[in-house]
Amino acid sequence: MFSNEGFLTTRDGLRLYFRVLGDGSDVVLIPNGIYLVADFEPLTSGRTLIFYDVRDRGRSECTTDPAVLERGILNDVDDLDDVRGHFGVEHVAVIGHSYVGFTVAVCAKTYPRTVRRIVQIGALAPDPSKQYPPELSNVDATLRDALARLGDLEHERPSLSPEQWCKKFWSIIRLIYVTDPADAYKIDGWSRCDQLNEHNFMTLFTQFIMPSIGRLDLTAQDFAGVSTPALVVHGTKDRSGAYGGGVDWARTLPNARLLTVPGACHAPWIEAPDLVYGSIDAFLNGEWPEKAVSVASVRG
């Protein structure tokens, strides 16, 4: 149906790298998802999954215009529609993991006629500055230890090459993404330290992406007109994106349901593959998963 991999061009002239799995008629876009290609292969039956590096990540080209950089997350929102247009598809489903879970919600708001379904996995909360109580977050010893080690790593940065720093960074950070430390090896592919863009991503993320999200200052009212079905998948032990953020998304998006993954961390398909893959598969087929529920309140 499509080329297995290649580059496409956005409306402002940047080239984005993509990879394609499957050849089904149901097209699913997975922005910033190259590191998920192997993990999400179980979802290919009857579908075409299009994974791509967002701008300034992986093998995609970098933005150099300061005014464009200031748009931050809005670039990724528009780029998603450009990816859809490149493949000539009228309607797409979209899967967003981690901070890209925030992105896909804004995509549904911005492009309601073309985004037919969204899946958020371990998404950044609607209000990233919100602090959640212990029952809705997981600030444990593993997280505190990782943050302390990352602080020490900053002192080492001048003596390390960018690739060395990247590898050390990921050797620490991967431990907070899984419940069982023995599973940390399963996310080794996330680092992509062989890609030059990945060496500087955290700087771009803190200087442009997060400030641009903060400027949006989104509330439930901003999403009141969004009818796009949304499946919010979130582990109760997520250290990177608090479980409360998933609960808030499920009550913020008008047509959303929350799939709680008990005891799971930031990559809940690692801890509960049958539940997560089976639920996403059902949702993409047009059905609400059995264990996905509506949420009336943050403590509900």
Identify the pLDDT of residue 17: 98
pLDDT of residue 298: 42
- For residue 131, the 8-state DSSP code is P
Ranges assigned E (strand) in the chain: 5-9, 15-21, 26-31, 47-52, 92-97, 115-121, 230-235, 256-261, 292-293
**CA 202 → CA 71, 84, 199, 239, 298, distances in Å?**
16, 27, 8, 18, 30
**Does the 5-138+200-293 domain belong in CATH 3.40.50.1820?**
yes
Q: What is the pLDDT of residue 1?
A: 56
pLDDT tens digits in sequence order for the chain, 300 residues long: 576 999 999 999 999 999 999 999 999 999 999 999 999 999 999 999 999 999 999 999 999 999 999 999 999 999 999 999 999 999 999 999 999 999 999 999 999 999 999 999 999 999 999 999 999 999 999 999 999 999 999 999 999 999 999 999 999 999 999 999 999 999 988 999 999 999 988 889 999 999 999 999 999 999 999 999 999 999 999 999 999 999 999 999 999 999 999 999 999 999 999 999 999 999 999 999 999 999 874 444
Q: CA-CA distance, 242 to 130, in Å (whole number)?
A: 10
pLDDT at 200: 86
Task: Check if the beta carbon of residue 152 is closer than 8 Å to that of residue 263.
Answer: no
Instruction: Give the start-to-end residue ranges of the domains of the chain.
Output: 5-138+200-293
Question: Does pTM top 0.85 for this prediction?
Answer: yes
Query: Which pLDDT does position 271 carry in this prediction?
Result: 97
